[in-house]
Structure 1
Amino acid sequence: MMRDPEDVVHALWLCKEISCVWLSLEWFHQAVPVQPLCFRELLSRFMYCPDEFRAEIFVTTAWSIWNRRIALHFGRSALPVDQICSSAGNFLQEFLAAQDTETALPNPPSPQRWCPPMTDVCKVNFDAAVFRSSNLVGLGVVVRDSSGAMIGALSAPTPLGSSVAELEALACMRAVQFASEIGLTRVVFEGDSTAVIKALREGLGELTCYGNVLDDIREHVSVFQSFDFNLVSRLCNSVADALAKKASSVEGVQVWLGDLPADIAPFLFHDVH
């Protein structure tokens, strides 16, 4: 029986063993409608792709497939095929998160203090804190009006996830749910995760392990009359951070309406005075 030649195109694109990687991304095959003759031709299909980051996604995925092939060749443990897409997506998101936040998003916020929103708009800040000793993560959410007054706050523990960005995405999802539960209509959501905020604002993140969380967030925000996602520095997110850390000492979801617990209130006072 004749076998396909073992060239780069076969190893990265045509090999049946890794076909499920590319089949899960329909637009990849739309970009390459016919079998490429060489790797340069395959690469060129994505290098001139008009959609942002598709070239990066292809290169990162191909790099992951090649690394897996090398690991198998030398008898080392290798990434399972069904995890290649999510692994490549996470790698790309981590790279984006490492970039200068001032150039990643327009209008970078002041690094000193939380800024109130415009009239009739509420700001919902969210954050996550990791407690590795207990394999838990704390999620913190605080809602404030245009004068900086606290409307509601939430602190909740949740199982530890696979990446920091995934945890921040879960915190954002909880913030969106909380805002909906207390009846907000015009909202700005703020967090200090570049990867999550950029993904939500620019429609990215489909290849990450938390892509389903991002999809849920996009679906849930449709109930608001208006919404936006802003990147803020950690200094501007101190109340949500404190609430996330407080989750280590609470059981289940804790909600406060109107007043913050005594150990969190000073953070809010500092922000608005």
Structure 2
Amino acid sequence: MVNLHKRQIVQNVSCNLCNDHPEDVLHAVWFCKEISSVWDSLDWFHQLVTAPPVCFRDLLARFLHYREEYRAEIFVIVAWLLWNRRNALHFGRPALPVATICGKAGSYLQGFLQAQSKVPGQSQTPIAQQWRPPDSHCFKVNFDAAVFRALHRAGIGVIVCDWNGAVLGALSSSIPLAQSVADVEALACLKAVSFAQEIGLTRVVFEGDSAIIIGALNQATGEVANYGNIIEDIRQQVGVFQFVVFSHTSRVCNSVADALAKKAKVVMVEQLWLGDIPSDIAPLVYLDIH
């Protein structure tokens, strides 16, 4: 509306959604109170925008320099969906409900990534495929750790899904910083095993992106390392499961557990979610590609 006013096409520059402020691009996709619930549900977005942006280019630049966990891509798609929603409402066309924007963004990004993994002239099997369990009664438990050296703390993240990808539970926990990163990763695995036991799972595939820890568990190594006692504790605890596998995965495919581990930097107490997941983590679930 501000641009149309500059071109003397309209007289009123007010936003048609809130009617409170002039509608420039930054207001339309970021500041408008009618869409604030989209960004409010993603706490980590505001960690990247600590000061109010002066223009959309300034806002976009902050995310383009952030290349972790596909958050820059999620921001771009969410902004694009909000702009298209604004135009649909302006011209009287059906518009996406605000509550569905984040989920739709995650779904679009997953589709794009899967399309990029197909190479012309080769087999059309995607490089990144949806995880398939050994059987329909098996569950997948992803774990990861984050180190906060300045705080002398570490974070642990765990996410539990069924064979169809539905989230059963999640965990974010802050612990004292261990002697090494491998120690912290081992503690994250131990926490994942304990969590799986507590919620009654019996057939589990544990996935982590630490090749050292997964290798130690699968190859009976690591006894002389600092984390050897933790590895032994894990082996003893998994004896109660009917079926258990420890599998190494890439960081890309472990983004949800990673985000939950980093969430522990803000909240020092252990947080548990059963049957759902934190709203700021939910978009990353759509990118859990295996």
Q: Normalising by structure 2, what TM-score? A: 0.55
SS in 2 for 1:271: coil
C-alpha contact 1:113 1:236 (8 A) present in aligned 2: no
Partner residue, 2:178: 161
CA gap 1:253/1:113 in 2 versus in 1, 3 angstroms = farther
State yes or no: 1:179 paired with 2:196.
yes
TM alignment of 1:157-236, pairs within 5 A: 157-236=174-253
Whichever residue aligns with residue 282 of structure 2, its letter is A
Q: What whole-Å deviation, never above 9, does each CA across 1:101-121 have from its counterpart, x for those lacking one? A: xxxxxxxxx874662423110
Give the aligned residue type for 1:210. Y
Q: Percent identity?
A: 56
Alignment partners' CA distance in 1, 2:127 and 2:268: 33
Unaligned runs of 5+ residues in structure 2 are: 1-125
1:122 partnered with 2:133: no
Query: Which residue identity does 1:245 align to in structure 2?
Result: K
TM-score (norm 1): 0.58
User: Residue 273 of structure 2: SS of its match in structure 1?
Assistant: strand
AA paired with 2:257? A
1:60-139 correspondence runs (5 A): 112=128, 115-117=131-133, 118-139=135-156
* TM superposition shift of 1:271: 2.3
CA distance in 2, matches of 1:255, 1:112: 29
Q: Classify 1:212/1:127 alpha carbon distance in 2 versus 1 (closer, same or farther; 3 Å).
A: same
Alpha-carbon distance in 2 for matches of 1:116, 1:253: 30
CA distance in 2, matches of 1:258, 1:264: 14
Provide closer, same or farther for how the CA distance between residues 114 and 173 of structure 1 changes in structure 2, counting only shifts above 3 A: farther
Conserved? CA contact 1:114–1:237, under 8 Å: no
SS at match of 1:126: strand
Structure 1 unaligned spans of 5+: 1-109
- What amino acid is aligned across from residue 159 of structure 2 in structure 1? V
Q: Distance in 2 between matches of 1:241 and 1:191?
A: 10
Is 2:265 aligned against 1:268?
Answer: no
Letter in 2 for 1:115: W
Q: Distance in 2 between matches of 1:251 and 1:158?
A: 8
For residues 38-57 of structure 1, the C-alpha deviation after alignment (integer angstroms, 9 at most, x for no partner) is xxxxxxxxxxxxxxxxxxxx
Contact preservation (8 Å) 1:140, 1:154: yes
CA RMSD of aligned residues (A): 1.7
Give the superposition deviation at 1:270.
2.4
Contact 2:143 2:192 in 1 (8 A): yes
